[in-house]
Amino acid sequence: MQGPLAGFRVVEVAMWVAGPSAAAILADWGADVIKIENPRGGDPIRGLAAPARADSQLAVAPGYELDNRNKRSVAVNLRRAQGRDFALRLIDTADVFVTNLRLDALEEMGLDYASLARRNPRLVYASLNAYGHHGPERLRPGFDYAAGWSRSGLMATVAEPDEPPPAQRPGMIDHAAGLGMAGAVSAALLARERSGRGCEVNLSLFSMGLWMNATDLTVGLMCGAPPKPESRNARPNPLWNSYQCQDGRWIYFVMLQDQRHWPEFCAALGCARWLDDPRFGDSEARRRNCRELISAIGAVVAARARSEWAPIFDRHGLFWAPVQTNEEVLEDPQARAIGAFAPVDHPRIADCYVVNGPVRFSLGGADPPYRAAPELGQHSEEVALELGLSWEEIARLKRSGALG
């Protein structure tokens, strides 16, 4: 594929979401990504299969397809000396190494940064883990639900007061971390062009969760106490809140400068009388009487369907959005217009799409369809031949179980 990283080689030893998603973004940007997988089953996310949309008899793994498009798969047993030797020979040819394996496992296999940098000083070594690369919990395992969502304060921050913690959907912080790592790798490659040497790039799900929660945490750092979770029934700014329409659908007003928007807001809702109501006369009055105003706004919004409100809100220049279901998002014309869903040239799934990465480059020419995520070991022989191995050597590695 063409892109700003065309000509760069990435070797991935990663599984599940965060590490593979970082490498997928690099592949989207043109890098040649080679994924090393265990011959016994490969990336565990391959096992999270579901019936295909158009063929209930066809099992597909959407999570695997999403985060492994445009890659090549090499099945290598890293627990065998011959397998490690093959992997090291491959990494010697790489510009970037991406992993989210635990640090102790990497050290045990000789795939830690110090070991690989001695062999390949130009290597950019990108390591993601759960809780960070220093401190007493550097080896602690964890998915983004725990390290990024729960531990970082995000779960408690978005919870309604006195309600149970809300659930997170799969891969939310993983994908943020993957995009962040792809950007960091690109910066490290630029630095290498200037210095001639690679470096180690670290990112954790915990640190990404903290960064996503940075606004409230910084309030705590600078002001002595972070904000407390707010009930939607008592938001200090009622023009920054969710409301339910007559048809059961929800909308979200996001007017941070409530005083600026107040006249047009009242006009849009047909409530010009609120302009003269002393309870709502300015931001401070609305804050003091937020429960009453939220209730009043809710009653007005509930009188019309969302489709009726939409043109009215837009005509008055309000900042708002529909609270869409996933089904609605998949049909959203604006999502289509920005190329949010990328076509995949898939051998088994007709009219196949995955969610695209959010970054676009104006390099000219239409982007070709993505290549489907590879079958386990699909490119083992191809990559081995590129490394200069003979067919006899490949056969020996296969017989020994080092190569799948």
pLDDT in tens, 11-28: 999 999 999 999 999 999
Mean pLDDT, residues 258-272 taken together: 98
Mean pLDDT, residues 196-217 taken together: 97
Cβ distance 360 to 373 under 8 Å?
A: no
Q: Does the pLDDT of residue 7 top 80, yes or no? A: yes
- Whether 256 is covered by a domain: the verdict is yes
Domain count, the chain: 2
Domain boundary among 323, 352, 378: 323
CA-based nearest residue to 335, from 355, 306, 311, 310: 355
pLDDT above 90: percentage of residues in the chain: 91
Residues in CB range of 123: below 8 A, 6 or more apart: 91, 94, 95, 96, 97, 116, 117, 198
Q: Does the pLDDT of residue 55 top 80, yes or no? A: no
The per-residue pLDDT for 97 is 98
Domain boundary among 276, 291, 323: 323
Helix (H) or strand (E) holding 323: strand 320-323
Print the domain residue range for 35. 9-213+333-400
Q: Does the pLDDT of residue 119 top 80, yes or no? A: yes
Residues 266 and 380 in one domain: no
Mean pLDDT, residues 99-105 taken together: 97
* Cα Rg of the chain (Å, integer): 26
The per-residue pLDDT for 52 is 74
Residues 52 and 173 in one domain: yes
> pLDDT-based confidence at 1, cuts 50/70/90?
low
Mean pLDDT, residues 191-198 taken together: 97
> Mean pLDDT in the chain?
95
Residues 349 and 389 in one domain: yes
Domain boundary among 270, 302, 323: 323
Helix axes 172-195, 18-28, angle to 10 degrees: 60
The per-residue pLDDT for 54 is 66
pLDDT above 70: percentage of residues in the chain: 99
- Whether 222 is covered by a domain: the verdict is no
Residues in CB range of 331: below 8 A, 6 or more apart: none
- Whether 225 is covered by a domain: the verdict is no
